[in-house]
Structure 1
Amino acid sequence: MLSDITDKDIEFKDYKKQSDIHGTALYPAVMIAPIQKKILKELLSEDNTIHTVFDPFHGSGTALYEASTLSSDIDVIGCDINPLANLFTRVKLEGINIQHIYKDIDSLKSFINTSSTVQIEKLSFHKIEKWFKPDIIDALSLLKSAITNIKCKRNRLYFWYMLSDIIRKYSNTRSTTYKLHIRPQTMIDSLPSGDCLIEDYISRVEKNVNKFKYHTSKYKLYKEDILSKIKHFHSNNFDISITSPPYGDNATTVPYGQFSMLSLYIIDKKDLKLEGWELENYSIIDNHSLGGKKSKVVLSDFEKSLLEPYLSKIKESMHKKVITFFSDYFSFLKELVRVTNKYIIITLGHRTVDRVKINLTQITQDYLVQYHFNNILTRTRDIKKKRIPKVTSIVDDQPVSSMNKEYISIFQYQE
């Protein structure tokens, strides 16, 4: 029974992503896989009429992958504005072509070993020398040429997926943040060589093959802005919607887009889902994400009433970014309840603005109940391991702590 799930049941203190597919490449602020699986499994056991699972902010595909593995009768549908998220999730769901993968790995290694006889196109994009040492650029150029040479698309996408983690690891950006933030020169000078990068990459490709043997064809992914895409879905289209939406605009919370840009500049464009604007600058994906666009702000009286307890305590100069985000967030929730006919499972955190903690879980609950989605379970989990610093900023000479808890809420539609 769902009601039997306690806070302790969703701690999963000992869970290590490295033990499964979700730890094969870094992506920001991913949901904890066994939590999502536990909840989905319980719902599926209680209701055998569930056939569709939707994640409107699918990120690296944690929830969709776990849902897919629970039942062959499940269709999973996802949307994300980030092309790297789209690639990550696609690779997890499609898996590798087992018949060709070992031959393709041998071909990759052969290409690298005979590279002196092949013309390699050197990587070039805006500020590449800032983010990579010269020998790292050469190594990545070689790997890009080798991967592009792979004919089997499913396997080629796997090679790109595995390269993404290597790109971040060997770049000049700090590993303590998801933002692009240059390391001190002494740390850059001590980074491993391009030869080490290639050895590391091949080792990871070979080591992780077995984690990608599962595949499904019962999926659909959209690389689009959810606020635009969700309006085109039919009402009551999905049995379960499960997601962890942004807790505020990406630029000041988790910069998913900025995190992804180095990989997106290097991965062959033919293997990315692109609308054409995504590579214009390092911040553009975050600026196009929920709460980041300079669109017209429209709030109903009810929505204003949900925000007023917080806005009354926040400096007026900081109201705009809060209102802009919630304008988008409420628009999203309004569509989410329209397209979902049974359950909404949502993982949230409480953002602090001007030292005022905004209870996004309560705001969401108050909003959803107006549309007959009643909260049947909320559980709290301590966030044990974080890349975001414990202190994110200083306001009025006082430190501001980052989020240290997340809240998993389940809502059920009830007439």
Structure 2
Amino acid sequence: MVSITEILKEKSIDYWDFADSKLFGIHKISSYPATMVPDMQKELIKMVTEEDKSVKNILDPFHGSGVTLVEGTGLGLDPIGFDINPLANLMTLVKLQGVNKKIVESSNRRIMRKVLEDDINFVVHDFYNIEKWFRTDIIESLSKIKHIIQQEKYKYIRQYYWVCLINVIKKYSNTRSSTFKLHIKKEEDINQLKNDVFKDFFQNISTSYKYLPDYSRHKKVLLSVGDTRELLSKTEQNSIDLICTSPPYGDNGTTVTYGQYSMLPLYWINKKDLTKFDDSLLENYSSIDSASLGGPKSIPSKVHYTSDRLINYLDSISLSKHRKVINFVNDYLDAFDKMHNVLKPGKFMIVTLGNRRVDNEILPLTEITKDFLLEKGFSIEAELSRNIPVKRMPRKVSRVNNKAVSSMNTEYVLILKK
């Protein structure tokens, strides 16, 4: 049996950058902010499963677009995933459950024929401020597609079509593509956009299914929407063989606004085709981000962490930022406390981390995480660092003294054992 240490010795210092790696196949079906690198995740999971042949399941408690769970499933593991974002959940569900390709091909022909018919009666979709975010003709085109998707018999096929519609909704919205936050484009750019909604949707549904696995009603896919701390509390203790995840590096409101990025597509998708979630997550454009770790509406943390490292950091930033940092760190470590509970003794956790800036001072999140997990009894089997050449992050994430602050360009990977 080859150990993780021996495998790592064979890798060059820049191996983990995966500088030439690109999203491909199944991972390109729908775009999402700050996705993981599939090649890296596959390699990391493979290292652990080669050392420990008894690993049967994999948990990602912040699964995002599902890269880690897709790669874990490809290596024969049963996927378990949590995310507070219903859109991320839908994308991951479709990638894992797959489709019946013959049924999709038949449904595609029906949908394309129906969409092009002139005498289809449909209700024009509406939600608060819809005309701010979409041109009138775009609303009509998307509404027609929505109506026809809802006529599809099989739920998993409807879910596939919703995922294919996400990129179309994003492309034809009035929001700028240069940021994950909702900001209106210039009026001239909105007016110049050519309405190719039908053409783009047809292209997506005709190609994306080819990358998906075959659908089976007996396939074991366990995904849930909600605060990962609550979901971990409901998970059986010592039941998980491998945790592999990249948790948020800060509260969503000031790092990556996954919720704002996802809200417009969520307002178009029929809720009955989404995994059950709390309605409050769709109350406004910031609801998901506010309910995420460190957000003003996140569930109360059961961890109240303090250390010299954290105190020294807080002393370096303005007093007005203390509460935001403390709230996030407590929520974040609360999640790790619960991850420790569900992981089996002797099993591995793989965590990809980054250190963000607050007041232009680097929050030592990686070191805080290590300190906390060592106190919980984990051992650090390996520690890697990598440059971030391809991860889709905003180039500038906040402003200090009216100057934009660059986002992080280095990530750290910890391989820990309970």
- Equivalent residue, structure 2, for 1:319: 322
SS at match of 1:159: helix
- Equivalent residue, structure 1, for 2:18: 12
Q: Give 1:107 shift.
A: 1.0
**Compared CA separation, residues 298 and 315, structure 1 to 2 (3 A):** farther
- Equivalent residue, structure 2, for 1:67: 72
Query: Does structure 1 residue 38 correspond to structure 2 residue 32?
Result: no
- Equivalent residue, structure 2, for 1:153: 155
Query: Does structure 1 residue 249 correspond to structure 2 residue 255?
Result: no
For 2:342 and 2:289, the matched residues in 1 are separated by 25
Counterpart of 2:199, as a letter, is E
**CA offsets, 1:258-313, max 9 Å, x none?**
1111111001111012322222111111111111135556654x634341121011
Query: Does structure 1 residue 340 correspond to structure 2 residue 343?
Result: yes
Instruction: Confirm or deny: 8 A CA contact 2:58 2:243 kept in the other structure.
Output: yes
For 2:172 and 2:148, the matched residues in 1 are separated by 18
Query: Does structure 1 residue 199 correspond to structure 2 residue 199?
Result: yes
Instruction: Confirm or deny: 8 A CA contact 1:355 1:400 kept in the other structure.
Output: yes
Aligned residues: 406
- Equivalent residue, structure 2, for 1:362: 367
* Unmatched segments (≥5 aa) in structure 1: none
**CA offsets, 1:169-197, max 9 Å, x none?**
1111111111111111121122121xx11
- Equivalent residue, structure 1, for 2:79: 76
SS at match of 1:208: helix
Instruction: Confirm or deny: 8 A CA contact 2:35 2:391 kept in the other structure.
Output: no
SS at match of 2:88: helix
**Compared CA separation, residues 200 and 48, structure 1 to 2 (3 A):** same
Counterpart of 2:129, as a letter, is K
Counterpart of 1:168, as a letter, is K
* Unmatched segments (≥5 aa) in structure 2: none
For 1:66 and 1:111, the matched residues in 2 are separated by 36
Q: 1:385 aligns with which of 371, 386, 390?
A: 390
Q: What is the TM-score of this pair, normalised by structure 1?
A: 0.94
| Percent identity (aligned) | 39
Q: Give 1:402 shift.
A: 1.0
Instruction: Confirm or deny: 8 A CA contact 1:250 1:289 kept in the other structure.
Output: yes
SS at match of 1:54: strand
Counterpart of 2:164, as a letter, is M
- Equivalent residue, structure 2, for 1:372: 377
- Equivalent residue, structure 1, for 2:411: 406
Q: What is the TM-score of this pair, normalised by structure 2?
A: 0.93
Instruction: Confirm or deny: 8 A CA contact 2:133 2:174 kept in the other structure.
Output: yes
Q: Give 1:387 shift.
A: 4.8
**Compared CA separation, residues 206 and 58, structure 1 to 2 (3 A):** same
Instruction: Confirm or deny: 8 A CA contact 1:176 1:388 kept in the other structure.
Output: no
Map 1:225-304 → 2, pairs under 5 A:
225-273=227-275, 274-294=277-297, 296=300, 300=304, 303-304=306-307
**Compared CA separation, residues 169 and 398, structure 1 to 2 (3 A):** closer
Instruction: Confirm or deny: 8 A CA contact 1:77 1:220 kept in the other structure.
Output: yes
Larger deviation, residues 197-206 vs 3-12: 3-12
SS at match of 2:280: coil
Instruction: Confirm or deny: 8 A CA contact 1:391 1:400 kept in the other structure.
Output: yes
Q: Give 1:214 shift.
A: 4.2
SS at match of 1:120: coil
